[in-house]
Amino acid sequence: MSVMVPSTTPAQSAGHEALESALFQLDRAAERLGLDDGLRTMLATPRRSLTVSVPVRRDDGNMDVVQGYRVQHNVTRGPAKGGIRFHPATDIDEVTALAMWMTWKCALVGVPYGGAKGGVTVDPAQYTTQELERLTRRYVSEILPLIGPDKDIPAPDVGTNEQTMAWIMDTYSVSAGYAVPGVVTGKPMTLGGSLGRAAATSRGVQIAALAALGRAPEGVTVAVQGFGKVGAGAAQFLADAGCKVVAISDVTGGVYAADGLDVAALRAWVAETGMVRGYRDADELGLDELLELDVDVLVPAALEGAITEANAPRVRARLIVEGANGPTTPEADRILAANGTVIVPDILANAGGVIVSYLEWVQNLQAFSWTESQIERKLRDMMESAYGEVKSVAAERDLTLREAAHVIGVGRVAEAHRMRGLYP
Ligand code: NAD
């Protein structure tokens, strides 16, 4: 009998490209900040990186073995923080890139965390709920030495949700011998989740988009790529603000309505059928077409590498607000900047998630809770103040918003390294 060994990262995987983008952005920021080579190398290298094999018992009695990862890119400013992704194409390079972006994001918005990310190379759609529970619990057991409310606090990302977080909280708590809600954020309310967390990333995207628009949102046309936790909420909040959301896609296809989509009706359709495709009150739209529509605002809220040098010259939106992490490659960035397109970068635009995760963790550590309006106010204040800082650094130094955001984020982490000094 031959044994299938899970493959390792292919040289040209999407993850490899994401890591190259993240390293390029770091390099440019380090250059602008005048960081020395030693510190640059330290910031380019994850602090801890764990790869685990996760055996999963399928419902039919067979066993699968999938690969899992947890990368702590930086823990200088506080415990590591970052989501866990279940996706068939995730690999160690992608998880490392996402962990690095978390480090800069946390520093940029001023939450006292380092950056981390986790991933399991699996298609959750191919697993039953029971199988996903066993997979999650075994993955968590394998990374258990790394996580904890003072060490590393996971959260939801692509392919995971509040149920996944509940299993993580339970697995960790059983091992500790008492309930530890602060080990994970994005939990259900009954387990110490925070009001406003589920919508936080999308709410943050709305706040960033409206700040960058610089005009009344009424009638502003919007296209949203990805209709998951981030994209669906962002579409809803932008429509609520008065924008006309004309196009939406998920992995199955896109839909278009020139007069604006009824986002709530589309959400109900997706809840019923599991996909955007087939929604009756709109025209069909190709996945690539959505990115090139003549709209005012484009919100990529799916995966990395959506806008590349191949399609960037055809992107017509004047404003891009990155709900996803790493949706625009550095080559595309250059083309878009030359065309005058403004990009609110991922580490700013989607920071609402980690901001309210931080608020959830603070509530857990203190065993109290804030009201939804208190959470919303804090989120808005932190998003608007981060946006204001990025905007003024961009203006002062003649940088794009992404370049400015990286100068601020990387600069704060570098300063923390300097102040702590090098042990021993
Ligand atoms: P999700 O799994 O809930 O949704 C992902 C969506 O993207 C799905 O609708 C899927 O069908 C769609 N999609 C995948 N490939 C696509 C393609 N080629 N074209 C169009 N749609 C496609 O994931 P999510 O939590 O919404 O995360 C989306 C992005 O936002 C990721 O980059 C994630 O890292 C980032 N993000 C998420 C959070 C969070 O709180 N969930 C916070 C910050 C950033």
From the CA of 200, how far away is ligand 1's center (Å)?
14
322 close to ligand 1 (CB < 6 Angstrom): no
Residue to mutate, 100, 229, 359, ligand 1, most ligand atoms under 8 Å from C-beta:
229
Check whether 8 has a pLDDT greater than 70. no
For residue 157, the CA-to-ligand 1 centroid distance in Å is 7
103 touches 413 (CB < 8 A): yes
- Domains, the chain, in order of start with CATH, read 46-178 (3.40.50.10860), 200-349 (3.40.50.720)
Say how many C-beta atoms besides its own lie within 10 A of residue 77's C-beta: 21
Cα of 300 to ligand 1 centre, how many Å?
A: 9
Choose which residue among 303, 304, 354, 383 to substitute to test ligand 1 binding: the one with the highest number of ligand atoms within 8 A of its C-beta.
303
What is the whole-number distance in angstroms between the Cα of residue 362 and the centre of ligand 1? Answer: 26
Cβ–Cβ < 8 Å for 21, 326 = yes
- Ligand 1 within 6 A of CB of 233: no
Give start and end residues of each alpha helix (H) in 177-281: 200-213, 229-240, 263-273
Sheet containing 152-156: which strands, arranged edge to edge? Answer: 48-57, 63-74, 115-121, 80-87, 152-156
For the chain, the average pLDDT equals: 96
Ranges 1-10, 201-210, 279-288, 292-301: which has the least confidence: 1-10
- Contact of 335 with 357, CB cutoff 8 Å: no
Would you say 355 and 109 are in contact if contact means Cβ atoms under 8 Å apart?
yes
If you measure from the C-alpha of residue 75 to the centroid of ligand 1, how many angstroms do you get, rounded to a whole number?
A: 26
Q: Is ligand 1 within 6 A of the CB of residue 355?
A: no
> What's the average model confidence in pLDDT over 13-28?
96
Phi, psi for residue 304 in degrees, rounded to 5: -70, 160
Q: What is the pLDDT of residues 305-352, one digit of tens each?
A: 999 999 999 999 999 999 999 999 999 999 999 999 999 999 999 999
- Please tell me the chain's helix, strand, coil percentages from 3-state DSSP, rounded to the nearest 5: 50, 15, 35
Would you say the CB of residue 124 lies under 6 angstroms from ligand 1?
Answer: no
What distance in angstroms lies between residue 323's CA and the mean position of ligand 1's atoms? 8
> Is residue 2 predicted with pLDDT exceeding 70?
no
By most ligand atoms within 8 Å of CB, the mutation choice from 105, 206, 230, 251 for ligand 1 is 230
What is the distance between the alpha carbons of residues 150 and 317, in angstroms, rounded to a whole number?
42
Find out whether the beta carbon of 287 lies less than 6 Å from any atom of ligand 1. yes
pLDDT tens for 44-72 read 999 999 999 999 999 999 999 999 999 99
Q: Which of 171, 200, 192 is nearest to 352 (CA)?
A: 200
Residue 266 to residue 274: CA distance in whole angstroms: 11
Nearest CA to ligand 1 atom 13: 251
What is the reported pLDDT for 39? Answer: 97
d(CA 308, CA 313): 9
- Per-residue model confidence (pLDDT) at position 336: 98
- Determine the 3-state secondary structure of 48 from DSSP: strand
Helices (H) and strands (E) in the chain, counts: 14, 12
Report whether residue 227 contacts ligand 1, using a CB cutoff of 6 Å.
Answer: yes
Which one of 81, 185, 206, 250 would you pick to mutate in the ligand 1 pocket, going by the greatest count of ligand atoms within 8 A of its CB? 250
Could you tell me the pLDDT band of residue 9, with boundaries at 50, 70 and 90?
low
Bridge pairing between strands 152-156 and 80-87: parallel
Residues 275, 228: Cα–Cα separation, whole Å? 10
The pLDDT score that the predictor gives to residue 1 is 41
199 lines ligand 1 (CB under 6 A): no
Which ligand 1 atom lies nearest to the CA of residue 227? 9
pLDDT in tens, 250-280: 999 999 999 999 999 999 999 999 999 999 9
Closest approach atom of ligand 1 to CA 230: 26
In the chain, the amino acid numbered 14 is: A
Nearest atom, ligand 1, residue 287 CA: 19
158 C-beta closer than 6 A to ligand 1: yes
DSSP output for 30-79: HHHHT--HHHHHHHHS-SEEEEEEEEEE-TTS-EEEEEEEEEEEE-SSSS
What is the CA(357)–ligand 1 centre distance, in A? 17
- Interval between CA 61 and ligand 1 midpoint (Å): 32
CA dist., res. 323 & res. 320, Å (int): 9
Cite the active site residues. Answer: 117
